[in-house]
Chains A and B, each alone.
Chain A
């Protein structure tokens, strides 16, 4: 069946994001899928600013700003409040990778273990972008950030948050990309109707932090999927892994790395090493995928 993308724009066109911001597209698509009966809670992240300063707000659904590490817990509390009042409202924690992979990981894990009835979204731009591009544990290996300078770029791997979440055996986990809005909206719609903790990781390139021309945001997001760097998948109950987009002929990672200033210092050996890691990760993933 062909998916119809809702025409209604819940998010207004005015906001204070950088040009070419991937995270604004993510919100736009997410709200299209979730509809107006949604409440957002947002911790410290780019979206704290993007939504607009008081008294403005671009999302047109209730938004409760919360502390950096507190999004999942705040969402659990909001949901409990609605439940006790007998109201069925989508409660969404909308967070960046700093809040999810680092400072709020314990809180996310807590909500997941309790299987609280919330949708937890991480829009992943792979560093602390709101504070000016410092490395997070989502920053990829060898990337430049302001705290991993080019003479000593990121020395550790990007944290595998999806496997961490899968280990909690929550009902639904998905990866999504702003370059594949149909796939993304389908996943958000599906997540909306599932009870319990749902986790969606949205890959959101960031021109300001990754140092590329703003018009390349969607292209880079697509290349990340096409090179198997960011596979689009779904996991049910932490055990049933399924690819939602199969890439027949994966593109070399060099195509993805090249336009980005954060990888400008890489030599051929570095690129080859990254290519090998992607292939190894892909082979590991294939072992988990349902045949």
Chain B
């Protein structure tokens, strides 16, 4: 069934189709519509889930970790300050190996107050042990929630589906809503191996000395490494079921490209238009969109980037004191390669400033004139 949905409602439908059993959330702009629709779905009985209307995001995550430890499927959504307040429990979810799935709407941090999009909220959760996936349109938002459960539950890792504030969250697009029976077939009920069960009592998360803690961390890393293949595998399986293909990354016109633009989320979808325009002018440019950020698909990125002349990474985020975060990751992935092209890091669109196709063409034309990067950051349209 095709329906016109905002990115927010695409998240709600994703959770509903995945038959989330416990939902727990706290409102924050621009996420509120996600939980409003889910509240209605729960109230009408359309979705048979327990919805805990918690008093903070910290409690939202804490309650879902508890529910997930019992062995049920859980969902929440948040944004920005809310995600930051959850931070302690994000580590807890990963450490407790609870496959909670969450939608995060990228919104810039205060102060000063902003409600517009920027990726610093989710990217500052980079090392919490959560998988992170950046969607480029509302169809992908819905589809990614379903896939996220499949990957998360197979490896006992939590997963975050990330979308841009307003650019997706409040923008309506046509979205194909898959049939429930098909989703049920694709995504069976969650079965947890080690769970809270009075018939088989165990203690979870107690004081663990250095002789065991180290290996538990190793296991999280191993699960993350396995997740690389799993996202690809689940993406292919999803295509067989629903006809839409997804992977760790998406490439556009890269086969004969001399230069590549690398970006994520909605800047990457806009960059596709920019690539088309530049191609019309005879420029051999392609696009690499990084969809899954954690685990980071370094090997795949190396394969794609090692054969080009120049790479331009556009970041809608900043690692203060360093540079754009996707750019840092791409550079780190390329460091030991023999044929590493120069990597130019551009920061654009902070605090939700528009990044249009025209802007991306300008970025390309300005950067491509340079032989080597003159600094770690090239600021797009800085007014000072």
Contact at A64–B56, with CB atoms within 8 Å? no
In the complex, which residue of chain B has the Cβ closest to the Cβ of A10?
B201
Q: Is the CB of A57 within 8 A of B206?
A: yes
Query: Assuming A53-B208, A60-B201, A84-B21, is B70 touching A76 (CB within 8 A)?
Result: no
In the complex, what residues of A have CB within 8 A of residue B60's CB?
73
- In angstroms, Cα B51 to Cα A84, docked, is 11
Asked if B71 is at the interface (CB within 8 A of a chain A CB), the reply is: yes
| A73 and B69 form a contact (CB under 8 A) | no
Q: Give CA–CA (A38, B199) in the complex, Å.
A: 10
Contacts of A69 in B (CB 8 A): 58
Within 8 A of B (CB), among A237-285: none
Is B68 close to A, CB under 8 A? yes
Size of chain B's interface in residues, with CB distance under 8 A? 44
- Across the interface, do A113 and B55 meet the contact criterion of CB distance under 8 Å? yes
Query: Contacts A39-B198, A77-B24, A82-B70 given: A51-B203 contact, CB under 8 Å?
Result: yes
**In the complex the two chains form, is A81's CB within 8 Å of B56's CB?**
no
Q: Is the CB of A84 within 8 A of B22?
A: yes
Is the beta-carbon distance between A73 and B59 smaller than 8 angstroms?
A: yes
Per-residue CB contact flags for chain A residues 73-102 toward chain B (1 = under 8 Å, else 0) read 111111011111100010000000000000
A85 to B69, CA, bound (A): 13
Judged by a CB distance under 8 angstroms, whether A126 is at the interface is no
Are the CB atoms of B65 and A77 closer together than 8 Å? Answer: yes
A93 to chain B, nearest CB (A): 10
Q: Is the CB of A64 within 8 A of B63?
A: no
The answer to whether residues A63 and B203 also contact, given A38-B198, A41-B66, A83-B50 and a CB cut-off of 8 A, is yes
Query: In the complex where A80-B22, A83-B50 touch, is A75 in contact with B207 (Cβ < 8 A)?
Result: no
Residues of A within 8 A of B337 (CB): none
User: Do the beta carbons of A57 and B202 come within 8 Å of each other?
Assistant: yes
Asked if B52 and A114 make an inter-chain contact with CB atoms under 8 angstroms apart, the answer reads yes
Contact A48 B206 (CB under 8 A): yes
> Contact mask B99-139 → A, CB, 8 Å, 1/0?
00000000000000000000000000000000000000000
Judge whether A61 is part of the interface by a CB distance below 8 angstroms.
Answer: yes
Complex: A190 Cα to B55 Cα, angstroms: 28
Contact (A76, B56) CB under 8 Å given A61-B198, A84-B49: no
Min CB–CB distance A25 → chain B (angstroms)? 20
Measured between beta carbons, the chain A residues less than 8 angstroms from B21 are 81, 84
Is A70 a contact partner of B55 (Cβ separation < 8 A)?
no
Contact B198 A89 (CB under 8 A): yes
State A60–B58 Cα separation when bound (angstroms). 29
- Cα distance, A61 to B64, chains bound together (Å): 21
Query: Are B67 and A78 touching (Cβ within 8 A)?
Result: yes
Q: Quote the shortest CB–CB distance from B351 to chain A (angstroms).
A: 30
List residues of chain B with CB within 8 A of the CB of A41: 66
A107 to B197, CA, bound (A): 24
Point out the residue from A36, A49, A64 that lies within 8 Å of B205, measured CB to CB.
Answer: A64
Instruction: Report if A234 contacts B (CB, 8 A).
Output: no
CB within 8 A of B55: which of A60, A61, A110? Answer: A110
A116 is an interface residue with CB less than 8 A from chain B: yes
Q: In the assembly, what is the distance between CA of A123 and CA of B54, in Å?
A: 24
User: Please, what's the 1-or-0 string for A216-240, where 1 marks a CB less than 8 Å from any CB in chain B?
Assistant: 0000000000000000000000000
* CB of B201, distance to nearest CB on chain A (Å): 5
Is A14 at the interface (CB under 8 A from chain B)? no
Name the A residues within 8 Å of B353 (CB-CB).
none
- Interface of chain A residues 21 through 72 with chain B (CB within 8 A): 36-39, 41, 48-49, 51-54, 56-57, 59-67, 69-70, 72
Chain A residues near B (Cβ < 8 Å): 36-39, 41, 48-49, 51-54, 56-57, 59-67, 69-70, 72-78, 80-85, 89, 106-107, 109-110, 113-114, 116
Listed in ascending order, the chain B residues whose CB lies under 8 Å from chain A are 21-22, 24, 48-50, 52-56, 58-60, 62-72, 74, 88-89, 92, 96, 196-198, 200-209, 212
9 A-B contact pairs sorted by A residue (CB < 8 Å): A41-B66, A52-B207, A54-B208, A60-B201, A73-B59, A77-B24, A77-B52, A80-B66, A107-B59
Q: Besides A61-B201, A80-B67, 5 other CB < 8 A contacts?
A: A54-B212, A57-B202, A65-B203, A73-B59, A76-B63
